[in-house]
Chains A and B, each alone.
Chain A
Amino acid sequence: MAGNKRIMKELAEVRTNPPPGCTVTLADENDMGTWDAVMDGPPDSPYTGGHYKIQITLPKEYPFKPPQLSFKTKIYHPNVSNDDRGAMCLGMLRPDEWKPPNKIADVLRLVRSVLAAPQPDDAVEQGIADQFKNDRKSFDKVAKEWVGRYAK
């Protein structure tokens, strides 16, 4: 399957030249479809110092269908669902927005930029988004607390 070949290429690329702050491994060396990425919290964000495990699931139709992201480390962020799915809503990953030329590395770069700059208007956690918009101080405080509690 062409997808597999591409995945191998992408993996090799991402391992030799990983996006900033990311390391990528396969969850299971025999399964190209599940990637484990560890992303460092971007500097100048409340998440700095945290290490976030993100599972990336590539559908068998990849790259024709978008990969799926799941934060395995809890993070206090308007765009990451605060549940065991840890879903992050990225426009790029929406099925009608996804384009095959997008690469996982691009996705990881985007994830990191969203960590650095939350998008409260496109939130999955409305409460957190409201806090982010209206009470940035408290938001930063809780986010930092969560880093210490979950993401060390």
Chain B
Amino acid sequence: MDRTNQQQPPRQRDMVYCHQCENEWYRDEHGLTCPECQSDFTEIIEAEHDPRDDHLPDLEPPDHDRGEYYGTPDPDEGDIDGLRWQQTGPGQVRGTFNRTYQFGGGQGDQQQGQQGQQGGGLGGIFGGMLGSLVQGAMNNVAQRQQQPGQAQPGQEQRPQSPEGGPGGRAASAPDTARAGTTVRHYHGPLGHMTIATSSNVGGNLHPRDANAPQPFQVQPNYIDQIMQQMVMNIGPGGPHGMGGGQGGLVFADGGMGGGQNPFAAGPFGNVFSMLNGMTGMGGDAVFSQEEMDRVITRMMEENQTGHAPGPASEAAIRALPTRPIEAKDLADNGKAECTICMDEVLIGNSVTVLPCSHWFHDDCITAWLSEHDTCPHCRQGIMPKDETSSNSARQPSQAPLNDMSNPAQVPGSFPGAAPDRQETSGSRQQPESPSLHRRASSTSSAGRQASSGGRQGSSRGGMFKGMRDAFGGSRNNNNNGEGGSGGGPGAAGS
């Protein structure tokens, strides 16, 4: 679901309600069968006939200016000071209230992007939510403060027609007044909102201006508390009974993102949409089981190496000896094949030999070792101990220190083994010169790097490039002289 979906006015779309599991969805997305429980005991929600116990507000926007939500009980009403609605023009309502909380920074970016589709009501409720969460989290004393509307100094002014700009993007311009009081103004096409907040914190918390460059600030520790509190606040017994006392993640049932969210139709719809937009796809905060599964699956895929060894270093791979295939390598049927590519190898073909004495085509084993420091047959690693321990601290992404069963076969112990290497795949365009032959000494690898980088670059695609890039940094750090960005040889697939 892309985010543009979320911005569609929900009112033209049929919503369907499942009597079985109380799920709700858009008909044009999932049809009449419940996507959640597969039940067909469902009903299209109509304005006159709403099967749900707790009515969500009508899909039509309120036709009176103050908004349907004006005067509805707010669970945190006691916390809200000076909530005032003013009609400022045709179709325009301005909601104003003041809050005091201890929290000064980090909110600006979240508040941006809010769209004032619902007129004043939206802004007010959004603000209410924000306010109450902050209030709840901070448990502070409210402080009444009169708001002078758009006349705040330092406020980012936007040109405004009565209808607002087409973009309808809210402007958030925190304005630091004396004593840590921040006044924020929101302007949608149909609504305005001002939130004045007082920060009681000295020290390192300052209002954050999302619109201007600023020095790095430490994120407040209690941001998770705040998020938690927010969910609590919007959960049980909101103005419209949403959540029905389930508390917690009320929007968990509705599926994630965009038009799917049944609450998009309600006054919180845009808030949820925005939250979804902030946290949903691609983020790491989720509010539905389905989404959770998806994230877990993705994480497992991304980290699927588990406790398997990471890649072998380029130097270690290059240091592997090669040898020609001999008659004794052939199987009983007189043939032999590289078990990675299943290509037949003939007597005299050069293969790369691992410390465990299993052999493969050079390209094949290089591609494998660049992802996994194991022999494809017996899983023994090729990384010698001194390769990693002689350098600086090991990185998490670095290959483990695998013991070599045969210490004699450390890199460099095969000075004569390489010269008769042959091209096995024909894909190499730049033969290695004798001086570039495999050696373990990392100090001499700089020149080789250029050469090998070149050949690899031309012969191999970027199959594992992302992974390589991710590993590249640490590997380079740990193998002095291994230069080259992640795009270096080794890791390329075939």
Using CB atoms and an 8 Å cutoff, list the residues of chain A in contact with chain B. Answer: 1-3, 5-6, 9-10, 60-61, 63-64, 94-97, 99-101, 103
Q: Could you list 11 further interchain pairs (A-B, Cβ under 8 angstroms) beyond the known A10-B342, A100-B340?
A: A2-B425, A6-B343, A64-B340, A64-B494, A96-B304, A96-B305, A96-B306, A96-B307, A96-B308, A101-B340, A101-B377
**Chain A residue at minimum C-beta to C-beta distance from B361:** A2
B364 within 8 A of A: yes
Residues of chain A lying within 8 A (CB to CB) of residue B306: 94-96
Does B343 contact A64, Cβ atoms closer than 8 Å?
Answer: no
Q: How far is the CA of A12 from the CA of B320 in the complex (A)?
A: 33
B253 at the interface (CB under 8 A from A): no
Mostly, the A contact residues are loop
Interface string of B350-369 (1 = CB under 8 A from A): 00000000000001100110
Q: Are A2 and B341 in contact, with the CB atoms below 8 A?
A: yes
A6 CB contact (under 8 Å) in B342, B371, B379, B463: B342
- Chain B residues, CB < 8 A from A1: 494
- Please determine whether B377 and A99 come into contact, CB atoms closer than 8 angstroms: yes
How many Å from the CB of A54 to the closest CB on chain B?
21
Q: How many whole Å from B287's CB to the nearest CB in chain A? A: 22
Is the beta-carbon distance between B342 and A99 smaller than 8 angstroms?
A: no
Nearest CB of A to B317, in Å:
14
CA distance A146 to B425 in the complex (A): 49
Q: Give min CB distance, B486 to chain A, whole Å.
A: 17
Contact B308 A63 (CB under 8 A): no
B419 within 8 A of A: no
Given contacts A99-B377, A100-B340, contact A2 B364 (CB under 8 A): yes
What are 23 A-B interface contacts by the 8 Å CB criterion?
A2-B341, A2-B364, A2-B425, A6-B340, A6-B341, A6-B342, A9-B342, A60-B463, A61-B493, A63-B340, A63-B341, A64-B367, A64-B371, A64-B493, A95-B304, A96-B304, A96-B306, A96-B308, A97-B308, A99-B379, A100-B364, A100-B368, A103-B342
Q: What are the residues of chain A within 8 A of B363 when measuring CB–CB?
A: 2
Given A2-B425, A60-B463, A100-B368; A95-B305 close (CB under 8 Å): yes
Q: Any chain A CB within 8 A of the CB of B254?
A: no
In the bound complex, CA of A96 to CA of B379 (Å) = 11
The 6 closest A-B pairs by CB, nearest first: A96-B308, A101-B339, A95-B304, A2-B494, A96-B306, A100-B340
Shortest distance between the CB of A66 and any CB in chain B (Å): 9
- Measured between beta carbons, the chain A residues less than 8 angstroms from B305 are 95-96
Residues of B within 8 A of A (CB): 304-308, 339-343, 363-364, 367-368, 371, 376-377, 379, 425, 463-464, 493-494
B376 touches A100 (CB 8 A): yes
A6 to B363, CA, bound (A): 14
Residue of B nearest to A8 (CB): B342
B374 to chain A, nearest CB (A): 8
Residues of B within 8 A of A61 (CB): 463-464, 493
Within 8 Å CB of B494, what residues of A? 1-3, 64
CB neighbours (8 Å) of A63 from chain B are 340-341
Q: Which residue of A lies closest to B370 (CB)?
A: A64
B336 to chain A, nearest CB (A): 13
CB A143 to nearest CB in B, in angstroms, measures 23
- List chain A residues, Cβ under 8 A from B308: 95-97
Residue among A96, A99, A100 with the highest chain B CB neighbour number at 10 A? A100
- B-side contacts of A99, CB under 8 Å: 376-377, 379
How distant is the Cα of A94 from the Cα of B301 in the complex, in angstroms? 10
Complex partner residue of A101 from B304, B371, B376, B463, CB under 8 angstroms? B376
- CA A101 to CA B365, docked complex, whole Å: 11
In the assembly, what is the distance between CA of A101 and CA of B340, in Å?
Answer: 5
Question: Inside 8 A of A60's CB, which chain B residues have their CB?
Answer: 463
CA distance A102 to B68 in the complex (A): 65
Question: Nearest Cβ in chain A — how far from B307, in angstroms?
Answer: 7
Specify which chain A residues have a CB less than 8 angstroms from the CB of B364 in the assembled complex.
2, 100
Chain B residues closer than 8 Å to A6, beta-carbon distance: 340-343
List chain A residues, Cβ under 8 A from B368: 64, 100
Whole-angstrom distance between the Cβ of A86 and the nearest chain B Cβ: 16
Most buried by A among B339, B342, B379, B425: B342
- Nearest-neighbour CB distance to chain A for B35, whole angstroms, equals 13
Contact in complex: A5, B367 (CB < 8 Å): no
Min CB gap B215→A, angstroms: 42
Please name all residues of chain B whose beta carbon is closer than 8 Å to the beta carbon of A100 when the two chains form the complex: 339-340, 364, 368, 376
What CA separation (Å) do A96 and B308 show in the bound complex?
5
Among A2, A10, A97, A101, find the residue whose CB has the most chain B CB atoms closer than 10 A.
A2
CA–CA, A96 to B363, complex, Å?
21
A96 CA to B340 CA in the complex, in Å? 16
Q: In the assembled complex, which residues on chain A have CB atoms less than 8 Å from the CB atom of B463?
A: 60-61
Closest to B363 in A: A2
Contacts of B379 in A (CB 8 A): 99
Bound-state CA distance A26–B195 (Å) is 63
Q: CA separation between A95 and B371, bound complex, in Å?
A: 11
Q: What residues of B have a CB within 8 angstroms of the CB of A96 in the complex? A: 304-308
A56 to B147 CA separation, bound complex (whole angstroms): 65
Q: A102 to B340, alpha carbons, bound, how many Å?
A: 9
User: Looking across the interface, which residue of chain A has its beta carbon closest to that of B341?
Assistant: A2
Rounded to whole Å, the gap between the CB of A5 and the closest CB of chain B is 7
